[in-house]
Structure 1
Amino acid sequence: MRITEFRITRFQFARDRVIGDSQVRADDANVAALELIADSGEVGLGFIQTLFHPLPDESEIERVFLSEAWPDLEGQPPVALCNRVGRPRGGKQRSFSLPFHEALQVALWDLAAKQVNLPLHKMLGGQRERVKAYASGLDFHLDDDAFADFFAHADELGYTAFKIKVGHADFERDLHRMQLLANVVRPGAQFMVDANEAWGAKEALVKLEAFRAAGYDLLWVEDPILRHDIDGLRLLRESAPWTQINSGEYLDVSGKRALMAAGGTDILNVHGQVTDVMRVGWLAADLGVPVSLGNTFLEVGIHAACALPEVEWLEYSFQNFDHLVDQPIEIRDGWAYAPDRPGHGLVLSETARTQWRRPKLLSRAELGEAPHNPRVRSAPKLAASRG
């Protein structure tokens, strides 16, 4: 099997709610599907996503991809590219002009698994087919009513663990949101908070102690302080033994390795770059460091989650992307299930290609209504906060 063609389909649509954290917010989706086509006819699918700025026109995405990525792909066997170790030096050590990296890894692994007719999680060595999922709201900008409605619905769907965004300038608001959460979910639920680097190390310790004094036992605090403050992260680990530090989300593979080697995290946070995740996941297993799978596009991270022995949790944040594929990842009763189809199991929907393709950049006002999200109870209620 060798790669002979590629296809890029640009999508742009309104989200069904404002998503964000203490640092950022977004109310539209900017996505392009990358399909790598092999001489066998098999297609590997990945998604190019930008959170805060629209992607350029489809023709420009194709031009950049053809110039920067395609020369290293054309005529190559996917499995070799999945496992290739590069030796970047000097000016060669740089990122693509557009965020192709994750999409490429996902599409290549999809093809490689299809070549051997295995689901991706089994090709990666997985011996299980499901992982616990926790409900994540990306909820910082929702008003209180929408916040409560969102998590009450997640509880009704069977989730038993919930993560909220904190890091507000008024810490009383963070405590208030935790109380709202406790009011609408089941007794005995597990809670996590994510500050997205909003705090300093000593400040974080004071606020974690305040959560504890208010009666909230946190399973973990995610990215409480700056990603490179390894000394501060180690201080938090030692000073707050009643909870766990979940960090590493914003670091590359080298940074994650340094973080673990320095004892700067209790749980390593990884995302959707399959090759990178597996390499750092093997190191985490060697060091005995638990791993959590953060948000991955259309939950494709379920495959790495099932394959890595240190993973207990997968994040699910109810984003309205399911319409882009024929069969999204199944999530039921608080568990995410890996598809038993060859590859990663996601196939671009031809209906979506027809109805939601946007070759040209549109203004926010031109996007219209958001696609229906069947996993969210009442999208109009999930309003943005006016504060």
Structure 2
Amino acid sequence: MPIAEFRITRFQFARDRVIGDSQVRADDVNVAALELTSQTGQTGLGFIQTLFHPLPDQAEIEAVFENEVWPSLVGQEAISLVHRVSRPRGGNQRAFSLPFHEALQVALWDLAAKEAGLPLHKMLGSRRDRVRAYASGLDFHLSDEAFCALFSHAASIGYDAFKIKVGHPDFDRDLRRLDLLKKVVPAGSKIMIDPNEAWNSKEALVKLTAIRDAGHELLWVEDPILRHDFEGLRTLRHAVNWTQINSGEYLDANGKRLLMENFGTDLLNVHGQVTDVMRIGWLAAELGIPVSLGNTFLEVGVHMATALPEVEWLEYSFQNFDHLVEQPIEIKNGFAYAPNRPGHGLALSETARLEWSRPKRLKRSELGNAPENPRLPVDLT
């Protein structure tokens, strides 16, 4: 049925720990829930997120959405919009003023699947309802003690694959982190590293060789060099035949296509934009390139992960968002499970709307304590 209403709820709260990598860090959460409601009363949910700067006041978010997005949605059916493509010509090819794109795709797909009475992963063509999950620390700015506590906890609850952040100016620190990880996770665990483009191609070769010589086996290295250095990525793929290159995180759908056409990656990294992920995931399947699902808000990416044929892994990084929804995605014993509820299975918590909504932008000093994180019962502050 046609889309009739929208609602935006702005949230802002402290994180339970600092997160980040070799390039960025963040210690608060800035997010808004987007709800699209059809004439039948079904609601599709997506999340608008900024990592480094607070969103404007809720009234401003609503005004921008109503001006830039709403005219193309109202009166339309969600199922007719999820695959719609516009010709990228001139001023028509531009981003929204606020980061609505992913939230819009997720909310539309959620609503379309609910209207069809199907779980989203089944609507996308899944043949399974679970995928292997790896524990990702977003740990670059943690102390060694907090780093060990995080990954020790992950190992204790059934994870057997772990990704850490590297790319420190002091390479000995990267090696020390790998040594520490080896001490707190089971022997034979799968290990991945992510420099977040901190290296150039020759530097990456030297450092990956040093990591191997220090006795560390890697399943993959993620985004070792600049995203558009297709030649460097291709050369690195052939030079480091003892591990895999995982790239594409920072590229849009067209960039991911060019990356694969230039043989620049062993695994393609995708995130939370449902339509874009499915399109590029189908192309990756045609080319025989495995796909990994990076961090997606509240792990909604489990639906794409279980629907695409080349996905083996989904990233889970213990981010403290579960209190925002009534029932989060189930993750246990190293697997993430796609819900069999209609849509993506996530519904905004009315308790969270009451207790954690912040219509007005707050200063960082006004945020108070972070919500309790039930999936991470250790002190990482």
Bin of the TM-score, shorter chain as denominator length: over 0.9
- Give 4+ residue runs of structure 1 displaced > 3 Å after superposition: none
Equivalent position amino acid for 2:218 in 1: L
Gaps of 5+ in 1: none
Inter-partner Cα distance in structure 1 for 2:80 and 2:216: 48
Q: Could you tell me which residue of structure 2 aligns to residue 36 of structure 1? A: 36
Structure 1 residue 284, shift from structure 2 partner: 0.2
2:295: which partner in 1?
295
SS of the residue corresponding to residue 205 of structure 1 reads helix
The whole-number CA distance in structure 2 between the counterparts of 1:246 and 1:40 is 43
Task: Find out whether 1:382 has 2:376 as its counterpart.
Answer: no
In 1, the alpha carbon distance for the partners of 2:72 and 2:241 equals 47
1:253 maps onto 2:253 in alignment:
yes
TM-score (norm 2): 1.00
Say which SS state the counterpart of residue 336 (structure 2) adopts. strand
Q: Which residue matches 1:57?
A: 57
State the SS of the aligned residue for 1:221.
Answer: strand
Unaligned runs of 5+ in 2: none
Instruction: Tell me the SS of whatever aligns to 2:82.
Output: helix
**Cα distance in 2 for residues equivalent to 1:181 and 1:236:** 25
Per-residue deviation, residues 217-254 of structure 1 (Å, max 9, x unmatched) = 10000000000000000011000011000000000010
Q: State how far apart, in whole Å, the 2-side matches of 1:116 and 1:45 are.
A: 16
What is the CA deviation profile of residues 85-139 of structure 1, one whole-angstrom value per residue up to 9, with x for unaligned ones? 2112101100001000000000000011011100000000000000000000000
What's the counterpart of residue 217 of structure 2?
Answer: 217
Task: State the SS of the aligned residue for 2:131.
Answer: strand
- Number of the residue aligned with 1:361: 361
Aligned equivalents of 2:251 and 2:308: distance in 1?
19
1:337 maps to 2:311? no
SS in 2 for 1:53: coil
Q: Secondary structure at the match of 1:272?
A: coil
Shift of 1:334: 0.3
Paired with 2:246 and 2:219, the residues of 1 have a C-alpha distance of: 10
- The yes-or-no answer on 1:205 pairing with 2:205 is yes
CA–CA distance in structure 1, aligned partners of residues 274 and 71 of structure 2: 21
CA distance in 2, matches of 1:176, 1:208: 14
Q: Deviations over 1:286-329 (max 9, x none)?
A: 00000000000000000000000100000000000000000000
Q: Measure, in 1, the Cα distance between the counterparts of 2:224 and 2:243.
A: 12
The TM-score normalised by the length of structure 1 is: 0.98
2:11: which partner in 1? 11
* Structure 1 residue 283: Cα displacement: 0.1
Aligned residue identity for 1:131: V
Amino acid at match of 1:258: L
1:90 corresponds in structure 2 to 90
1:271-290 mapped onto 2 (5 Å cutoff): 271-290=271-290
> Residues of 1 paired with 2:257 and 2:83: CA distance?
19
Tell me the residue number matched to 1:145.
Answer: 145
**Pairwise CA distance, 1:71:** 0.9
Residue 183 of structure 1 corresponds to: 183
2:359 maps to a residue whose letter is P
Q: Deviations over 1:154-186 (max 9, x none)?
A: 000100000000000000000000000000001
State how far apart, in whole Å, the 1-side matches of 2:235 and 2:377 are: 41
Classify the secondary structure of the residue corresponding to 1:218: coil
Percent identity over paired residues: 73
Q: Distance in 1 between matches of 2:128 and 2:86?
A: 31
1:71 is paired with a residue of what secondary structure?
helix
* 2: CA distance, partners of 1:151 / 1:79: 41
2:245 is matched by which residue type in structure 1?
I
